[in-house]
Structure 1
Amino acid sequence: MSSVDSRTQLAGRNRLELLVFGLGNDQRFGINVFKVREVIRCPKLTDVPHSDSSIRGIADVRGHTITVIDLSEAIGKGRMTDEQVENAFVIITEYNRAVQGFLVHSVDRIVNLSWKEVLTPPSGTNNSNFLTAVARIDKQLVEIIDVEQIFARVVGVADTVSDDVIGEYGEIAKGSDLVLVVDDSVVARKQVESTLEQMHLKSVVTKNGQEAIDTLRRWKEKQPEQLERLAMVVSDIEMPTMDGYTLTSLIRQDSALKGIYVILHSSLSGVFNEKMVKQVGADRFIPKFHPDDLARVVGDALRRHEVHHAVDEA
């Protein structure tokens, strides 16, 4: 709990801890420490027939079977040799409601950063290189991996809302309803947009919290009709420049924006998020990514929005 508390305080100040690691060359990569359960020497791996080539096998770790993904191959930088695997490390992580291991060549250290120091990759690079952000640490560029994009390619992600959920919530949306989507991952944005589209909702997409708050403030000053159409904000938590916690706090501090319904939608999970959701004033938290779960939470928010407008009109 002391670890949870300390990282809660970091997130509340728009900060993070980054685990820096290598994939066999001088380039360094990073992953949020809070997604990391532990780092171990590569255990014995058992092959998984007919799986994606990036999946190097499964391993028994403390009585739990986990899938181990060759991260270098997954992002197109070459498959580890068997000899390299013997000397490699596995970063055991919790993403998207599951535990998995990332096979890496080396693990360097943990650094404490502000999200303001973490920047969106140059235009045109994040699709091909599986990057979600970059940061400069000790005069070296560290690339932060877009894990959602890796999962979509290696494991696959369901993106169709079930007929039952559409039947329950599909008629609630009005043609004028608008959702502001905030996520730094290209794949995650498309997943959320697809879910909203199946619910007959229009979306405006931004890549981080700063873009989102700038958009809301612009609407407040110059396009109040957009705010009137806005049913909710669906935001990721981990994002360069400004995270979802800080975005939510800024929304709640603005008298013209504070009533906006905010859903935080993240691959982070557990006690940490439940605590932060309450602290920053978000309305709901939902772990990524299942289209039915997101659709249900969005549908519940739409009902609230509908009641809100009915009260206003009265």
Structure 2
Amino acid sequence: MAGIMDGVDQRTQLAGHNRLELLMFRLGARQRFGINVFKVQEVIQCPALTSVPHSHPVIRGVANLRGNTIPLVDLGMAIKMKPIDDLKEAFVIITEFNRTTIGFLVSSVDRIINTNWEDILPPPKGMSRGTYLTAVTRVDDELVEIIDVEKVLAEVMSVSEEISQEVLSDVDEVGDMPHHVLIADDSSVARNQVKRTLDQIGVETTLANDGKQALDILLKWAEDEDPKLKRLAMVLSDIEMPEMDGYTLTTSIRNDPRLTGLYVLLHSSLSGVFNNAMVEKVGANKFIAKFKPDELAGAVLDRIKAVDNA
């Protein structure tokens, strides 16, 4: 299974072209699921686990990998499916996102596919696992479900959304002019984390479920000469989103004369030097890795101060 991740670093040219690669896997015998390759560090056979008393029920234990202690989450249990019976036969997808390294126990790993974000669609309403999905796609005439791993992480690990008093004190330095932020994120958990963070500093928000929806909102505001567009401090966008990713959204904004001057902050679960390079390539103004309320609120307040002082 080590070979399945070979050459991942060479795949970064997909970004910025509304394309991605999914690592497909199974929970149980039948249903296929997918996760963005950029979240994946490696895939291994399940190692020996050490149990952790009083941990979340879906954490089957921790593993020591190259000196790092990593919690291993039974992904089936986490999304309300059956737990894995035989851990010796299971695989672990070691991931890094939201500044956290975590392993997901799965029944089997299939292969990596190259696809378009346009072919990644929001989950149909009424799906039994709908609350744990960000998107679906079709491969070999079979439905592939993309799990909202940010929601899983938020449920398993405690994530604070409180802004420190030090950052909140900066709110007093902001003028009385109302400001607006357009938030684009396909994860309902992440979207609402951002909203609640900005609520604490008194910033109005409009929410979009993906890049295409965000662009449609901006185009309508421009066409209608909506006051929200004039009060828009920034577009705060995720990168991984169905139909249109954050890089493509940014490029579309820069290519429209009515929108080209908008400030774009990319806020992604994916971190590292690669994203900083892509921010510059597509013309975004700033990149912040998820999710630090103080850092995010501080970046928004800095932008508002810049607008007020312009």
TM range (shorter): over 0.9
Mapped partners of 2:309, 2:123: distance in 1: 41
- Pair 1:27-2:31 in alignment: yes
* Residues 148 and 139 (structure 1), Cα distance of their counterparts in 2 relative to 1, 3 Å cut: same
Q: Which runs of 4+ in 1 moved over 6 A?
A: none
Mapped partners of 1:119, 1:93: distance in 2: 23
- Pair 1:63-2:67 in alignment: yes
- Which residue is equivalent to 1:264? 266
Asked if structure 1 preserves the Cα contact closer than 8 Å seen for 2:79 and 2:129, the reply is no
- Which residue is equivalent to 2:119? 117
Asked if structure 2 preserves the Cα contact closer than 8 Å seen for 1:8 and 1:276, the reply is no
Secondary structure at the aligned position of 1:237 is classed as coil
- TM-score, normalised to structure 1, is 0.93
Mapped partners of 2:236, 2:176: distance in 1: 18
- Pair 1:240-2:208 in alignment: no
- Which residue is equivalent to 2:13? 9
* Residues 168 and 128 (structure 1), Cα distance of their counterparts in 2 relative to 1, 3 Å cut: same
Secondary structure at the aligned position of 1:239 is classed as coil
- How much does 1:176 deviate? 2.4
Mapped partners of 1:174, 1:126: distance in 2: 46
Asked if structure 2 preserves the Cα contact closer than 8 Å seen for 1:173 and 1:199, the reply is no
- TM-score, normalised to structure 2, is 0.94
* Residues 158 and 271 (structure 1), Cα distance of their counterparts in 2 relative to 1, 3 Å cut: same
- Which residue is equivalent to 1:297? 299
* Residues 127 and 42 (structure 1), Cα distance of their counterparts in 2 relative to 1, 3 Å cut: closer
- Which residue is equivalent to 1:78? 82
- How much does 1:306 deviate? 1.5
- How much does 1:170 deviate? 5.0
Partner residue of 2:158 out of 123, 133, 156: 156
Asked if structure 2 preserves the Cα contact closer than 8 Å seen for 1:179 and 1:204, the reply is yes
**Runs of at least 5 residues in structure 2 that lack an aligned partner in the other structure:** 1-5
- Which residue is equivalent to 1:216? 218
Secondary structure at the aligned position of 1:160 is classed as coil
Asked if structure 2 preserves the Cα contact closer than 8 Å seen for 1:42 and 1:85, the reply is yes
**Runs of at least 5 residues in structure 1 that lack an aligned partner in the other structure:** 309-314
* Residues 61 and 73 (structure 1), Cα distance of their counterparts in 2 relative to 1, 3 Å cut: same
Structure-to-structure mapping, 1:186-197, within 5 angstroms: 186-197=188-199
Mapped partners of 2:126, 2:164: distance in 1: 33
- How much does 1:3 deviate? 5.3
Identical counterparts, % of pairs? 54
- How much does 1:123 deviate? 2.8
Mapped partners of 2:71, 2:258: distance in 1: 47
* Residues 207 and 174 (structure 1), Cα distance of their counterparts in 2 relative to 1, 3 Å cut: farther
Taking only aligned residues, the RMSD between alpha carbons, in angstroms, comes to 1.7
Secondary structure at the aligned position of 1:12 is classed as coil
Secondary structure at the aligned position of 1:167 is classed as helix
Asked if structure 1 preserves the Cα contact closer than 8 Å seen for 2:59 and 2:73, the reply is yes
Secondary structure at the aligned position of 2:83 is classed as coil
